[in-house]
Amino acid sequence: MPRASHPPLDLDFDAPSEVVARALIGVTLLVDGVGGRIVETEAYDRDDPASHTFGGPTPRNAAMFGPSGRAYVYRSYGIHWCLNVVCREAGHGAGVLIRAIEPTMGIARMQARRGLDDLRLLCAGPGRVGQALGIDGSFNGKALDAPPFVLIPIDGEQPAVQVEVGPRIGISKAADVPWRFGEKGSRFLSKPFRTVPRAV
């Protein structure tokens, strides 16, 4: 039977970022009612050469050193806005990059923002997610359990989400660390997971 409100999220944002990154797969993320199911994430941590927090606190990464469960939004390549979920206790400097979403809510709105109809490419990549959800720098530091954000847990009645793991994308340091997570078989990923070795 339908519920009037959602149960509390079974997510501990103080957990290590790779744990949170995996747990977020299948969770629905909405911004002003627009978004869908998270199908791809990446974990970053303080002692991680690929992380923005590797060198310690700076003005840009301040939100990553703040309380968990808030947003860290940064500008990528001067063009895109990318959204992270801050993890660990305040001061630690860990987070999860939201890399891809399966569009379910406010699809027309996202298509208009992206100037693109193809559902598969609507939110398939961190920059695309940012554009589709209307993320910009003003969201940096905002709590994810309060408007305009909504996080909806995985329905316990549904079969468990199958998660694949692989190396992170688009980084040059620690490129072999398997901290990319995605829903197995999803067609909304930014890139497929290569479970089978490429043919020679």
Partner DNA sequence: AGGTAGATGTTCT
Partner DNA sequence: GAACATCTACCTA
Question: From the CB of 180, what's the least distance to DNA, in Å?
Answer: 10
- List, in order, residues 6 or more apart from 82 with CB less than 8 Å away: 73, 74, 75, 76, 97, 98, 126, 127, 129, 130, 135
Residue pair 146/64 in contact (Cβ under 8 Å)? The answer is: no
Considering beta carbons, is residue 10 or 47 the nearer one to DNA?
Answer: 47
Structure tokens at 81: 């806005």
Angle at the Cα of 97 from the Cα atoms of 95 and 103, rounded to 5 degrees: 140
| Choice from 26, 103, 125, 182 touching DNA (CB under 7 A) | 125
CA distances (Å), origin 12, targets 6, 28, 88, 89, 115: 17, 16, 9, 11, 36
| Choice from 58, 136, 178, 184 touching DNA (CB under 7 A) | 58
Considering beta carbons, is residue 29 or 97 the nearer one to DNA?
Answer: 97
Residues 1-40 that bind DNA (CB under 7 A): none
Q: Is 160 exposed, middle or buried (0-12, 13-18, 19+ CB in 10 A)?
A: exposed
Q: Is 62 exposed, middle or buried (0-12, 13-18, 19+ CB in 10 A)?
A: middle
Considering beta carbons, is residue 6 or 120 the nearer one to DNA?
Answer: 120
Is residue 109 near DNA by the rule CB under 7 A?
Answer: no
Q: Taking contact as CB under 7 A, which single stretch among the options 25-33, 118-126, 158-166, 179-187 is the one that binds DNA?
A: 118-126
| Choice from 72, 179, 181, 193 touching DNA (CB under 7 A) | 72
Considering beta carbons, is residue 72 or 193 the nearer one to DNA?
Answer: 72
Considering beta carbons, is residue 28 or 61 the nearer one to DNA?
Answer: 61
User: Would you tell me which residues interact with DNA (CB under 7 A)?
Assistant: 42, 44, 50-53, 55, 58-61, 64, 72, 74-80, 82, 84, 95, 97, 114, 116, 121, 125-129, 168-173, 190
